[in-house]
């Protein structure tokens, strides 16, 4: 059974940093691209970032480019999102999802809430 489990969310002050993790199981992690998608409270979905299975290619939304870094450790079956210089408008539930190149596909995690507030 495929499972994606995000962790690392919480309350952080504006300008602060946070690292999200997404632990994957039930499939050959290194064979698949992975993505991050976020959803602000009461709002729609926003694609954030994606990474190829090998980790050699990364992609970012303009809204996070230069502040967020996606990475993965295929030996640990884990995807990461390092978030720096956080702003109030980064407040959202962050989902990781198995991807086809950059597009989220068939399996999503349950999400982790990031709140940026003083």
Q: Which residues contact other proteins (rule: CB under 8 A)? A: 35, 37, 44-47, 50, 59-62, 95, 100-106, 108-111
Closer by beta carbon to other proteins, 32 or else 108 = 108
Closer by beta carbon to other proteins, 23 or else 102 = 102
Residue 118 Cβ vs other proteins, minimum distance, rounded to whole Å:
27
4, HSE (Cβ side, Cα atoms, 13 Å): 26
Residue 31 Cβ vs other proteins, minimum distance, rounded to whole Å:
18
Residue 13 Cβ vs other proteins, minimum distance, rounded to whole Å:
27
The strand pair at 58-60 and 33-39 is best described as: unpaired
Closer by beta carbon to other proteins, 35 or else 91 = 35
- Torsion angle, alpha carbons of 110, 114, 115, 118, to 10: 160
Closer by beta carbon to other proteins, 15 or else 45 = 45
The strand pair at 112-116 and 10-12 is best described as: parallel
Contacts of 39 (CB under 8 A, 6+ apart): 45, 46, 92, 93, 95, 111
Residue 18 Cβ vs other proteins, minimum distance, rounded to whole Å:
20
């Amino acid at each position: 059974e495929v499972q994606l489990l995000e962790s690392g969310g919480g309350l952080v002050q504006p300008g602060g940093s946070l690292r999200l993790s997404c632990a994957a199981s039930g499939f050959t992690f290194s064979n698949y691209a992975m993505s991050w998608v976020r959803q602000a409270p009461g709002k729609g979905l926003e694609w954030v970032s994606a990474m190829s299975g090998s980790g050699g290619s990364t992609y970012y939304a303009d809204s996070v480019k230069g502040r967020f870094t996606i990475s993965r450790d295929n030996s640990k079956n884990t995807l990461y999102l390092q978030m720096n210089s956080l702003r109030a408008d980064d407040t959202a539930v962050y989902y990781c999802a198995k991807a086809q190149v950059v597009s989220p596909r068939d399996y999503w995690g349950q999400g982790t809430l990031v709140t940026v507030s003083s």
